[in-house]
Amino acid sequence: MIVFFAGSAYDGVAGTDRHLADELATMRPVLYVDPPCSVLTPLLRTRPAAAMRARSMLGPALRQEKSGLWRLVPRVLPGTRRPGMHHVTTRWTRAKVRRAAARLGQPVTAAIATVPDDLLGAVEGVPTMYYVTDDLAAGAELLGLPRRRLLAAERRQAEAADALAVVSPVLKERFAAMGLDAAVVPNGCSPAAYAGVDEAPWPDDVPRFDRPAAGFVGNLNGRVDLDLLEGVADAGHPLLLVGPRDASCPAERFAALTARPDVVWTGMRPHTELPRYLRAIAVGLTPYVLNDFNRASFPLKTLEYLAAGRAVVSTALPATDWLREDAEGAALVRAESSREAFVKAVGDELAASAEHGRAEPGKAEQSMAGRRRAYAARHDWKYRAREIADLLDQVGGPRDSGDQARPGR
């Protein structure tokens, strides 16, 4: 069994941790360990984030989520991140993981962590991996944690792990400056989930727009450039926003944006429902603020838009450059960072979508939508899981008898 120490709750917004763990579970049993949760969380459910975690607290601490995957919700004392108290939280979590593994009766063969907390030693004598999915130190203010503490914890974790993997080339360079070699394993997508997006039922909470719409799917937080979303709305384009709003997203500006007649905000929706919402848009948006935290990221949403055959307009992130063109040189993602250029790119793609909609249906596979889907298929999560498994193999981790080829970029 692989113990997977995640940075997000399994039933939260589906991100790297959940997608990767789900795919690994098709190869080996997985114990997915949620971030530690205070026993007082259910009392704070008036706060959006606490309300989400409260749902997790209501069920058993150890539960089976799907075939081959169990989930542990470590319930710990309040003040989980306070100085000094975070060491107690870590010790409690490690003990709870050992008890859960013993209860399941599954031999632990490897441990993976996407957080810098000292958790990989919870089960001794197995190969370990630190998989870095964000530049946590650069996002210290957004996370509300001390930068110095994050830097120290991250370095300790990277040096202690048997294998080190990162989600982007920017993160690889960052660890190289520390003298540490990291393998780049980018985010992926689930192409099969979006195969029937154009025939998916129209979402009940979204009106049928009278012209092509742009959309954003994901966490609405301080990473998102509201100025770009406001620019799209100012230009008169219908805008669909799907995802929870975090406190770091300015409340008044966001309320004013979502009050506009052609802007629809649904709040958080299950990941399994996303094809329905992507059916309602023609252009997917990745409007991230240009800072060190975002430059080191690899936005999941960009690949998911492509898997759905949608045009993509993003700010100019290194990950965007990595995904810019397919093998034939077709531009798959428009990258613009100024408000004027971003809004113009959105308008151009919406106009192109309207024109393609009038094209002969029989030529769909030759269209840009078909090329986007074909490109996204090369970045299936099953290939990312295989890369992680291969890295664990190299340090003595679990082996799987499958012989899937892994395509290159």
Section 35-58 average pLDDT: 59
Q: Is 147 helix (H, G, I), strand (E, B) or coil?
A: helix
CA dihedral 219, 220, 223, 227 (to 10 degrees): 150
- Cα 248 off chain centre by: 18
Residues 89-128: tens digit of each pLDDT: 888 899 999 999 999 998 999 999 999 999 998 988 999 9
Tokens of 318: 């290194």
Q: What is the mean pLDDT of the segment spanning 11-27? A: 92
Q: What is the DSSP string of 184-224?
A: E----B-GGGGTTGGGSPPPTTS---SS--EEEES-BSTTB
Q: What is the pLDDT of residue 148?
A: 86
Tokens (6 digits) for 31: 């114990």
Q: What is the pLDDT at residue 201? A: 95
Structure tokens at 167: 């989600």
Cβ atoms of 376 and 189 within 8 Å: the answer is yes
Given this model, what pLDDT does residue 79 score? 54
Q: How far is CA 22 from CA 16, 63, 153, in A?
A: 10, 15, 27
| Residue ranges in 193-291 assigned as alpha helix (H) | 226-234, 251-258, 274-279
Taking residues 243-270, what's their average pLDDT? Answer: 94
pLDDT score at 403: 39
Question: At 364, is the pLDDT very low, low, confident or very high (cuts 50, 70, 90)?
Answer: very low
Nearest to 408 by CA among 400, 386, 397: 386
- H/E run at residue 286: strand 283-286
Average pLDDT on 27-31 reads: 96
Residue 51 neighbours by CB distance under 10 Å:
14
pLDDT exceeds 80 at position 397 = no
| Alpha-carbon gap, residue 232 to 225, rounded angstroms | 12
d(CA 235, CA 348): 12
Q: How many CB atoms lie within 10 A of CB 348?
A: 14
pLDDT tens for residues 212-256? 999 999 999 999 999 999 999 999 999 999 999 988 899 999 999
Whole-number Å distance between alpha carbons of 272 and 286: 20
* 353 or 168, higher pLDDT: 168
Q: How many CA atoms lie within 13 A of 313 on its CB side?
A: 28
- Average per-residue pLDDT in the chain? 86
Tokens 């395509």 sit at which residue?
407
Rounded Cα gap, residues 15 and 299, in angstroms: 9
Q: Quick one: how far is CA 37 from the chain centroid? A: 20
> Residue 55: its pLDDT value, please?
57
- Give the β-pairing of 30-33 and 37-38: unpaired
List, in order, residues 6 or more apart from 350 with CB less than 8 Å away.
211, 212, 213, 214, 237, 282, 283
Statement: residue 408 has pLDDT above 50: no
Distance from C-alpha of 39 to C-alpha of 42, rounded to nearest angstrom: 7
Res. 132 pLDDT band, cuts 50 70 90: very high
Of all residues in the chain, the percent with pLDDT exceeding 70 is 85
54 has a pLDDT exceeding 50: yes
Max mean pLDDT range (69-78, 141-150, 211-220):
211-220
pLDDT of residue 398: 47
* Higher-confidence position of 354 and 232: 232
All domains in the chain, ordered by first residue: 2-188+380-394 (3.40.50.2000), 191-377 (3.40.50.2000)
